[in-house]
């Protein structure tokens, strides 16, 4: 049997690695694209919305995870995987959940980055049981996300120009709608696919019918204005959660979202992007408001003024809780906590000693 030199083995190993990297590079270059029949391998989804609006509970249900939801601490990451078939690679969804309502909106700059922006989607979850905070929450979070998307898009365009000869995986946040998209010239599409979810429908359905109509039609207008999909849901309804999961899977794994359409304000709304129009939505349902007395700059501003007349908005200056997360029982680490307690004691002793030395210095002076 001929002897194989160590150099030959290294050469074979190096060739195997290069072959693997080449295959991985081809797969990565197709991530986030559906051109040429290529299947998306990785996508990213950012979830944000009302504080205590049910974001974590909805996410766990969509991932079929039987876990007890806990309050989201700042920005949390998880992922989901789905097999395309038997003995095939699994698609991966990178999932970012922003906690704290609007108080931590600046953190959207972490998941919204130039890398993989073409495979990014946003899910905005609004608490229907708190209509007096709904518009302000929606407006601040979408503005924060859009500002970061525009910033990232500008960075990506500069990077592409600088590396025109060497194409990279960096892309702009350009979103192109079909030419026959309803009201295409009158809307302002969100830079990336957007899904608006109205949570806690089980509570909302008990509201007065006129108030339900104002909330429903307003969210229909907002969704159509941003070329977004809209769905009302409740974790207490298996039927609604099933439909919500299909929309989530559409963004996370590229699956079919279904063609169900429901715009009756007396029922849960299910409005796919592109299925609605301003003519179907109509004018703001201002039964007790004289629209002619409102000085609005544009249709969106008019809807905002009417909505805030019906539901005066609460202050969105949500203060971060003073509670130290390090002392939260759900994040306990006995050894680390013991060391932390020791360091805290040493710090307090240092402060006392420093205070004594300063007092002594003052007396001598």
> For residues 9-32, b (16+ Cβ closer than 10 Å) or e, as one string?
eeeeeeeeeeeeeeeeeeeeebbb
pLDDT at residue 314 in the model? 79
The mean pLDDT of 51-62, rounded to a whole number, is 94
**pLDDT tier for residue 317 given thresholds of 50, 70 and 90:** low
pLDDT of residue 277: 95
Spatial distance between the Cα atoms of 119 and 97, rounded to a whole number of angstroms:
17
Q: Is residue 336 part of a domain?
A: no
* Non-local CB neighbours of 193 within 8 Å, separated by 6+ positions: 121, 122, 175, 228, 251, 273
Tell whether 359 is covered by a domain: no
Band (pLDDT 50/70/90 cuts) for residue 210 is very high
Q: Report the alpha-carbon distance of residue 8 to residue 198 in Å, rounded.
A: 62
pLDDT of residue 331: 62
Which residue pairs from 92-95 have beta carbons closer than 8 angstroms and sit at least 24 positions apart in sequence? 92/41, 92/42, 92/43, 93/42, 93/43, 93/44, 93/45, 93/252, 93/253, 94/42, 94/43, 94/44, 94/45, 95/44, 95/45, 95/47, 95/59, 95/252
* Residue 346 counted as domain residue: no
Calculate Rg over the CA atoms of the chain.
Answer: 26
Q: Is the pLDDT of residue 280 over 60?
A: yes
Q: What is the CATH number of the domain that holds 120?
A: 3.40.50.300
Positions of E strands within the chain = 42-49, 75-83, 90-98, 120-127, 194-199, 229-232, 270-271
Q: pLDDT > 90: what percent of the chain? A: 51
Total structural domains in the chain? Answer: 1
- Answer yes or no: is pLDDT of 1 > 50: no
User: CB neighbours (10 Å) of residue 106?
Assistant: 10
Give the number of other Cβ atoms within 10 Å of residue 80's Cβ: 21
Q: Could you tell me if residue 344 is inside a domain?
A: no
**In the predicted model, what is the mean pLDDT of the chain?**
82
Residue-level pLDDT at 14 = 58
Q: What is the pLDDT of residues 225-238, one digit of tens each?
A: 999 999 999 999 99
State the residue range of the domain holding 72: 38-310
Q: Given a cut of 50, is residue 4 above it in pLDDT?
A: no
pLDDT of the residue at 31: 43
Tell me how far apart the alpha carbons of residues 172 and 201 are, in angstroms, rounded to a whole number: 36
Say which range, 169-178, 212-221, 262-271, has the weakest mean pLDDT.
Answer: 169-178
315 domain-assigned: no
Percent of the chain whose predicted confidence (pLDDT) is above 70 = 76
Contacts of 115 (CB under 8 A, 6+ apart): 169, 170
Identify the DSSP state of 267: S
* pLDDT (tens digit per residue) in 149-169: 999 888 877 777 776 655 544
Residue 169 lies in a domain: yes
Q: Whose CA is closest to 261, among 251, 250, 247?
A: 247
Q: What is the pTM of this model?
A: 0.75
Q: Which residues contact 9 (CB under 8 A, 6 or more apart)?
A: none
- For residue 283, being part of any structural domain is answered with yes
How far apart (Å, rounded) are the C-alpha atoms in residues 253 and 247? 10
């Amino acid at each position: 049997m001929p002897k194989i030199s160590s150099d030959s083995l290294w050469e074979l190993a190096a060739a195997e690695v290069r072959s693997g990297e080449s295959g991985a590079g081809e797969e990565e270059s197709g991530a986030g694209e559906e051109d040429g029949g290529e299947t998306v391998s990785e996508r990213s989804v950012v979830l944000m919305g009302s504080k205590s609006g049910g974001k974590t509970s909805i996410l766990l249900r969509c991932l079929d995870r039987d876990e007890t939801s806990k309050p989201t601490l700042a920005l949390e990451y998880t992922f989901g995987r789905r097999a395309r078939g038997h003995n095939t690679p699994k698609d991966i969804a990178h999932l970012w959940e922003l906690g704290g309502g609007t108080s931590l909106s600046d953190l959207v700059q972490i998941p919204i980055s130039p890398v993989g922006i073409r495979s990014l989607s946003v899910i905005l979850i609004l608490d229907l049981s708190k209509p007096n905070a709904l518009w302000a929450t929606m407006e601040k979070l979408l503005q924060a996300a859009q500002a970061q998307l525009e910033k990232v898009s500008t960075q990506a365009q500069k990077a592409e120009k600088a590396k025109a000869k060497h194409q990279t995986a960096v892309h702009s946040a350009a979103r192109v709608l079909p030419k026959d998209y309803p009201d295409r010239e009158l809307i302002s599409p969100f830079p990336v696919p957007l899904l608006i979810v109205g949570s806690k429908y089980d509570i909302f359905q008990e509201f007065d019918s006129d108030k339900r109509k104002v909330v429903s039609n307003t969210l229909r207008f907002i969704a159509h204005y941003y070329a977004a999909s809209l769905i009302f849901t409740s974790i207490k309804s298996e039927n609604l959660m099933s439909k919500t999961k299909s929309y989530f899977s559409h963004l996370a794994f590229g699956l079919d979202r279904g063609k169900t359409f429901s715009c009756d304000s007396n029922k849960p709304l299910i409005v796919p992007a592109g299925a609605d129009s301003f003519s179907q939505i109509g004018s703001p349902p201002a039964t007790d408001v004289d629209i002619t007395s409102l000085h609005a700059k544009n249709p969106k501003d008019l809807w905002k003024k009417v909505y805030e007349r019906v539901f005066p908005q609460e202050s969105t200056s949500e203060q971060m809780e003073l509670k130290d997360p390090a002392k939260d029982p759900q994040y306990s680490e006995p050894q680390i906590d013991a060391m932390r307690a020791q360091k805290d004691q040493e710090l307090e002793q240092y402060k006392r000693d420093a205070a004594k030395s300063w007092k002594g210095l003052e007396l001598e002076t």
